[in-house]
Structures are given as C-alpha cells and as structure tokens.
C-alpha cells in the first residue's frame, strides 16, 4: 500500500519515517466474528437458563431496553475480552482460550448462585460470632492440652510411617529406580487411587471400618487416615524427584556391578535425600492441619474438641482454638524452614 502511494509525497515522508518496521500479523477477522457469535450463543443460553430474576433497565432515549442483569454483564465481559484480544493482535487459539475461560467461569458461578450480596443480609447473625473472635477464651486453650498432644502425636506417627512407606513406593514407582516398567506403572496407578481420596474421606472410611472415639480407637483411625494421605503425597512428589535425578551416578553404579537395591541406595537415595526430608517436613505441617480437620469426623484430637465447641456455640472457645492453631502451625512452619535451610 505504502509503495503504491509513494513517489510523489515520499520525499518528506521518508525523512520522518526512517524504515518500515514489521507489524504483528493480523489475526483473521472471520475467526473473531465466529468467536463473537460464540459469545452471543453463550449469552442466549445463559439468558434462557438464568435463575436470578434481577433485570437491568437501559434507558435509550424514548425506549427502555431491559435484559437479565447477570447474563448481560457476562456478555459485556466476553465482548470486552474479545476486543482486547483483537486490539493486541492475539492469535485465534489464545482468543478462543480467553473467551472460553470467561464463559466457563460465568457458567460455574451462575450454576451455584455465587454472590457476595448475601453476606450483608446475614450480618445480624454474623455479628455476635465475630465479636467472640475478639475476646477468645485463653484459659480454655490450655485446659484441652491433652487434645493438642493427641493431635500432635497423630501427626508425628503418621508422618514417620507415611513418609517411610512413601519413600519405598516412590522408589518402586519411578522408572529410574524400579525393577521394571510394569511394576512402576502399576504402583503409579495404585498411587493415583490412594491420592484421589481426600484425607477426610479416608478418616470417614476408617472411622466406619474400625470405629472412632466412641470405641477408644479414634487416634488409630486418624493415624491410618493421615497415613494414606501422606503416602499419596510423598510417593507422588518424591517419585517425580527420582525421575529427575542425574543419570550419571546410576550408570556408574551399574557399571560397578551393583544390584538394583544397592544402586537405589547408593546412587538414587543420596540425590533425593534433601527433597525427601523437605517433603517429610511439609507433610508434617499438613498433618497438623489435616488432623484438626479430620478430628471433626470423629478421630479425636483438637479437631474433635473444635467441632464440640462449635456445636455448643461456644465461639470464644472456638476462637481460642483457631488462634492457637495458627500459632502452632506457624511454629511448625518456622521449624521446618529452619531445618530446610540447613539441608541445602
């Protein structure tokens, strides 16, 4: 184009514009129109399926347009995203990604009626409880010393056992250190199953299977639940660390005639040791928190105490427990950070 216009007025223009710079390729308009059509389709669908009845009135001179409030806002956001993408010459794929991100987020939020507007409506209910958090009952926290220790003990036992078993499973799960491919694959699959059940799920399961605090077996169920939780985490994280160890020492151990166990012990373990210790400390932190959470489903410890106080509406006690929990978790965090720094 510039070339076609030029010779006559090229003189001064050439002075001002030293050289033509490459411009980013313009994304295809057709695709953007298609994306806009997708946004319209999404808007229509959200309109049809809307649950909120709030309607927005848009005065346009003589006439008054109206539209369901939330889908319209969502639609405008979609168009704005497309406009920004167009302006920044974003490729078709990325623009599609951005648009679908907005659509999915809107869909998810609309589906569960996500809105913060209900909080002020519940304020009268909330006020009293919030006030309790400003005057926690400190004397109560030390009264349940025993429960704190139970929680801590569950975390320690579960960490020790879980990390050890996790280490063994990680060794078998990683193709680098496992005897053969089928073993590694099946252990990995088993591991995914273990990991797919959350800690509270395991706790409910073990409480149902072997009995909770009612039978005096609460901590046992709790430790077993945390154990499964820990095995899943350590085996996953450590397995990936083992995948990435440097192959040189392993080859050297092989060349020296070491067998599989010797090779794993001599060449693999020292390389992943910092990772293992670090994961173990992380798992210990998680266990302190998780043992509180699973305490609520009846495995004893401070979590059970917490749920008891909540059922009694003793918010001062609840507040005291939560504050103490923050302090405990922070202390454990500092402790493990201190160790990790010395590890490297």
Interface with other proteins includes 267 (CB under 8 A)?
A: yes
Using CB under 8 A, pick the residue from 266, 310, 322, 328 that binds other proteins.
Answer: 266
Is the CA virtual torsion 282, 284, 285, 289 positive or negative? positive
Binding to other proteins in span 78-137, by CB under 8 A: none
Quote the least distance from Cβ 161 to other proteins, whole Å.
19
Using CB under 8 A, pick the residue from 48, 123, 257, 341 that binds other proteins.
Answer: 257
Binding to other proteins in span 273-302, by CB under 8 A: 273-274
Report residue 249 as tokens: 């020492």
Radius of gyration, CA atoms only, the chain: 30
Using CB under 8 A, pick the residue from 50, 195, 265, 340 that binds other proteins.
Answer: 265
Segment near other proteins (CB under 8 A), from 10-18, 131-139, 146-154, 255-263? Answer: 255-263
Report residue 247 as tokens: 């192959």
What is the rounded CA–CA span in Å between residue 282 and residue 57?
A: 53
Binding-residue total with other proteins (CB under 8 A): 21
Using CB under 8 A, pick the residue from 231, 234, 242, 253 that binds other proteins.
Answer: 253
Interface with other proteins includes 195 (CB under 8 A)?
A: no
User: CA nearest 199: which of 179, 178, 221, 180?
Assistant: 221
Whichever of 202 and 279 has its CB closer to other proteins, that residue is 279
Q: Cα dist. 193→159, 188, 209, 225 in Å?
A: 20, 9, 19, 14
What single-letter DSSP state applies at residue 197? S
Interface with other proteins includes 55 (CB under 8 A)?
A: no
Q: Cα dist. 120→125, 130, 315 in Å?
A: 10, 13, 20
Task: Specify the DSSP element, H or E, that contains 258.
Answer: none
Is the CA virtual torsion 237, 243, 249, 253 positive or negative? positive
Interface with other proteins includes 69 (CB under 8 A)?
A: no
Interface with other proteins includes 168 (CB under 8 A)?
A: no
- Give the interface with other proteins as residue ranges (CB under 8 A): 248-249, 251-259, 261-263, 265-267, 270-271, 273-274
């Amino acid at each position: 184009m510039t070339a076609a216009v030029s010779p006559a007025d090229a003189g001064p223009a050439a002075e001002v514009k030293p050289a033509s710079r490459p411009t980013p390729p313009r994304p295809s308009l057709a695709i953007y129109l298609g994306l806009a059509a997708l946004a319209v389709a999404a808007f229509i669908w959200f309109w049809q399926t809307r649950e909120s009845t709030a309607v927005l009135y848009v005065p346009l001179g003589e006439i008054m347009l109206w539209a369901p409030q939330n889908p319209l806002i969502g639609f405008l956001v979609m168009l704005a995203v497309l406009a920004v993408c167009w302006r920044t010459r974003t490729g078709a794929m990325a623009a599609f990604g951005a648009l679908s991100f907005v659509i999915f987020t809107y869909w998810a939020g609309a589906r569960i009626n996500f809105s913060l507007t209900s909080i002020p409506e519940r304020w009268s209910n909330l006020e009293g409880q919030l006030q309790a958090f400003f005057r926690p009952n400190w004397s109560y926290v030390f009264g349940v010393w025993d429960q704190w220790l139970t929680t801590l003990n569950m975390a320690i036992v579960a960490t020790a056992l879980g990390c050890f078993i996790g280490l063994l499973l990680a060794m078998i799960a990683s193709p680098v250190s496992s005897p053969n491919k089928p073993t590694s694959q099946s252990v990995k699959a088993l591991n995914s199953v273990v990991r797919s059940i959350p800690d509270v799920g395991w706790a409910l399961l073990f409480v149902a299977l072997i009995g909770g605090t009612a039978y005096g077996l609460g901590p046992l169920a709790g430790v077993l639940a945390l154990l499964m939780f820990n095995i899943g985490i350590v085996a996953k994280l450590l397995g990936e660390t083992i995948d990435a160890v440097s192959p040189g020492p392993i080859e050297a151990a092989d060349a020296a005639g070491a067998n599989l166990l010797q090779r794993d012990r001599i060449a693999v373990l020292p390389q992943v040791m910092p990772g293992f210790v670090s994961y173990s400390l992380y798992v210990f932190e998680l266990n302190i928190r998780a043992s509180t959470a699973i305490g609520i489903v009846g495995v004893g410890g401070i979590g059970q105490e917490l749920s008891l106080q909540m059922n009694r509406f003793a918010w001062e006690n609840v507040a005291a427990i939560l504050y103490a929990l923050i302090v405990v978790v922070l202390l454990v965090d500092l402790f493990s950070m201190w160790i990790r720094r010395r590890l490297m």
